[in-house]
Structure 1
Amino acid sequence: MKKNIFLALMVFSAFNSVSQNKIELVGNVGVGTLAPQAKLHVNNGDNSYGTILATSSESEFSLYAKSLYTQPVYSEAFRLGLKHNNTEENGFISFYRGTSIRGGFLGFSTNGFERLKIDVNGNVGIGTSSPKQKLTIVGDQNAGDQGGPINGQNSTALLRLQSSPGGAGEVLDFGMNIKSYGWIQPQDFNDPNAFYNLILNAKGGNVGIGTINPDSKLAVNGTIHSKEVKVDMTGWSDFVFKKDYTLPTLEEVEKHIAEKGHLKNIPSEEEVLKNGINLGEMNAKLLQKIEELTLYMIEMKKENQILKNAVEKQNKEIELLKIKNSNQK
């Protein structure tokens, strides 16, 4: 009994010896203040630390809450972070004040540098303190040429989407080549030679390049430069060579040109300027005309051969007649 009374007196004496610590039986707990305004209110003075020591053998580490100047507006007012002795560069969260009741924002720092910020409008900036979009990423690229995408383990991408954790599986990288071009590259993280297909609008919709109103699966407002273009076709023009095909006479062709100003089944200049041309369809139509022209040439050759034979026959008859007349003299 005497022991319990002694302990009670020691606790009571300890509380009275530190006049600014107050624990209420019901209500709030104050450390460094006699008027706690929250369940736990730590008051360590202006621009100083309220510190919780780590519960590990490395006692140099501590979790700290730091109050800073709240003027001017939009300045860093409070900080919560991990400290090693008096160094605050392990990582911390900064709370920036707004005007009064609203407008504050957050910053997240590692190694003493702010890496991510959520501004007053909800925009998130990574590598920038002034994001203008919902997500803005600013990379630490060199002033020189970064080059294009390389393999998954050594990529210089500004943004990466990864299909599985642990540095394995497929990745989709987004990057920039300074003053040159931007790039998107799906690839394998572990295999430097494995690059995957990039699919756009797999379920539907059109893709536009140089246009905001694509009217086809791929609409390009500009020049397409390619080593090769492959067009799938549902038919071809070899029907011209079938026996049941009726080849227009040259007189019919001449009449159509005189009346319409273009070949039959070939679009006019007005139609082309208005609607453009279908590359595969136009090649088929042009081939049809080439095949028809080939048939005309074959027919003309036959007619020329007949005429040639007739002329040769006539010349022989003339020679024979000359010989006969000469003999009669």
Structure 2
Amino acid sequence: MGIGTANPTNATLDVVGDIAFNGGDLIDSAGTNAVLKLRGTDSTRYLELRTGSSMVQLRAFGSAVNELRMGAGTADHLTITSSGNVGIGTTTPNNKLDIYSTTKSAIGFSGASGDTYKWTIGMDVTNGGRFSIASSTALGTTDRLVIDGNGSVGVGTSSPSQQLSIQGNTYLTGGLGVGRATTTSGVIETTGVINVQGAGTSSFTNGINLADGCFSTRGTCAALGGTTINSGTANRLAYYSGASTLDSANYLTTDATNFRLGIGTTSPATTFSVAGNTYLDSNVITISSSSAATTTVVLGNGLNFDSNTFVIDPNSNRVGIGTTSPAKLLSVSGSSGFMLTNTGANHTFYIEDIAGDSTPFVIDESGNVGIGTAAPGYKLDVNSGTTDFVANFESTDDQIGLLLSDGDDFLVGIKGTSFFIDRTTSFTSPDDFVLDNNGNVGIGTTTPAAKLSINAASNALGFYLAGYANNTADMFRISTSTASATSTAFIIDANGKVGIGTSSPSQQLSISGNAYLTGGLGVGIATTTSGVIETTGVINVQGAGTSSFTNGINLADGCFATRGTCAALGGTTINSGTANRLA
């Protein structure tokens, strides 16, 4: 059939000219395994090729996205965005080429089939997301170059410890500059130092030529600039036999294994060995420092190690440490402290008197100090023997004390003429416990006015007495004479009852004798008026005598009763009248 042509070819449909389709499906087949489909909607068009149940799609999206996607089946494998970014494994590429994988993002290179040369380059997400180049089809096993997340580059190693780490030999055809921007070919240049720390032997075929500076070993210059360091004899110190020549034939030998030095001998037997005679033209050995010559050792008439270190005075047979004029058999002077160290086990430091007694002063292996005892059981153990006083503390000041602390501080001492114990570290105003020179005791006060004066802080409990009684004995008693006297002035019994003038109170408050109140008396009422007896109950007068009411009885309310019968109601005044007459 021909459209636009009168001579159709052998094709079933031959169209000459443009074709416009307004429908959604352009080419379709009712079968599920059609070879070719060209379908879509207003927003998405796709070309589908099938081989049996397998298919490949090329999809184009509408103007809102303007993307082209390709994939196997319905999964997108390659995306081209409207901005020209290409994504492989991602539909949102942010760069001209983005490759993404949930395991490893990599690009592989290989030769023909069977070729052993294969390379892979990409990001290894299983090893911290580092960039790697590997000589195989996978990253992480044969990595030849890596760049980790810190920017450190590793060549021949997958774990660079420096900005550039190379495992294996390195060959440079140019120069190497460390701290310098320009170098000379075949030369190592640095603005710092070169540290050679290998365990082997370094070889310098042409020697070491120092144009300037110093060649040092263990921080000490062995040669200065302008000289040449050549080979010599092992374990011998070289010396300059000429202006620029080192020689070790006439030797000064060192034994590095045993830390020995020999003069005139190749096998020093001691720390310092001299083979041959040694002559000193005086009794002084001088060691020169960098600033000036200082006499440090004097032989002959005594022995001195400079004026402030060690002196033996042969005239007085005294030894001085830190002093040139020892005043005693051993005089030690200095500002850096004094220390004796005993490194042996189960040893004790003794100071003995002339009789050989080892008890005047002892420090045992546990650090316990004994005075007057050879076996101290505590950090400080003092035994005065037959002497009454164990210790004597004196001060020219008006205060002296002993501070005890286990996290909480207690100061025990004397201030002025009073002994005190206080929870403080200061002598300012100790008042927890004070005993003055009059024998008065003060608690909470520094000036007790009686044998016992207690002064509590504001809102604090001033005096609290508690104890345990296993019988009905009195808990607290104040007598006017001795403790066993019967003239009890004040008592609190085991039931908490208070007696004044009686030793056997029957009520919570029992008073034997007259009582005088300057205020009021309230019974069952919290507030009272001065000079008035108030009660919420009744007043029973049971005395056999005559009650006297000078100002009468004024009833504000209620009833005045005799034998249970009201004689007057509230609001009336009961006054005096004429005998034998009814009021």
Query: What band does the TM-score fall into relative to the shorter chain?
Result: 0.3 to 0.5
Q: Which has the higher helix share?
A: 1
Q: Which structure has the greater CA radius of gyration? A: 2
Asked which structure has the greater RCO (Cα within 8 Å, sep 6+), the reply is 1
Compute the TM-score of the two structures, normalised by the length of structure 2: 0.25
Kindly indicate which of the two structures has a greater share of residues assigned to strand: 2
- Relative to the length of structure 1, the TM-score reads 0.39
